[in-house]
Amino acid sequence: MGIRLKIPKNHVRAASLRKREELIDAEEKGILAKAGLIAHGRGEAFDYILGEATIPAALFATRAAAASLILARHPVLSVNGNTAALVAKETVDLAEAIPADLEVNLFYRDRRRELAVKSTLVKAGASKVLGVGRRASAHIPELFSERRKVDPNGIFSADVILVPLEDGDRTMALKKMGKFVVTIDLNPLSRTSQAADVTIVDNIIRAMPNLTKAVEELRGLSRQELKGILERFDNRRNLSETILFMRDRLTALAKEE
Ligand code: ATP
Q: How far is the CA of 223 from the centre of ligand 1 (A)?
A: 32
Rg (the chain; Cα; Å): 18
pLDDT of residue 17: 87
Q: Is the dihedral of CA 89, 90, 93, 94 positive or negative?
A: negative
Closest atom of ligand 1 to CA, residue 169: 2
**Average pLDDT, rounded, for the chain:** 94
Q: Is 74 in the pocket of ligand 1 (CB under 6 A)?
A: no
Q: List, edge to edge, every strand of the sheet that includes 75-79.
A: 101-104, 75-79, 160-162, 180-184, 198-200
State pTM to two decimals. Answer: 0.95
Mean per-residue pLDDT, 26-31:
96
pLDDT of residue 213: 98
Q: How far apart are CA 109 and CA 86, in angstroms?
A: 18
**In which band, very low, low, confident or very high, does the pLDDT at 209 lie, cut at 50, 70 and 90?**
very high
**In which band, very low, low, confident or very high, does the pLDDT at 67 lie, cut at 50, 70 and 90?**
very high
Q: Is 23 in the pocket of ligand 1 (CB under 6 A)?
A: no
Q: Is 58 in the pocket of ligand 1 (CB under 6 A)?
A: no
Q: How far is the CA of 38 from the centre of ligand 1 (A)?
A: 9
Position 83 pLDDT exceeds 60: yes
Q: Is 168 in the pocket of ligand 1 (CB under 6 A)?
A: yes
pLDDT of residue 3: 53
pLDDT of residue 15: 81
Q: Is 39 in the pocket of ligand 1 (CB under 6 A)?
A: yes
pLDDT of residue 112: 93
Q: How far is the CA of 172 from the centre of ligand 1 (A)?
A: 14
**In which band, very low, low, confident or very high, does the pLDDT at 186 lie, cut at 50, 70 and 90?**
very high
Q: Each residue of 122-157: pLDDT tens digit?
A: 999 999 999 999 888 899 988 877 788 999 999 999
Contact 67, 218 (CB under 8 A): yes
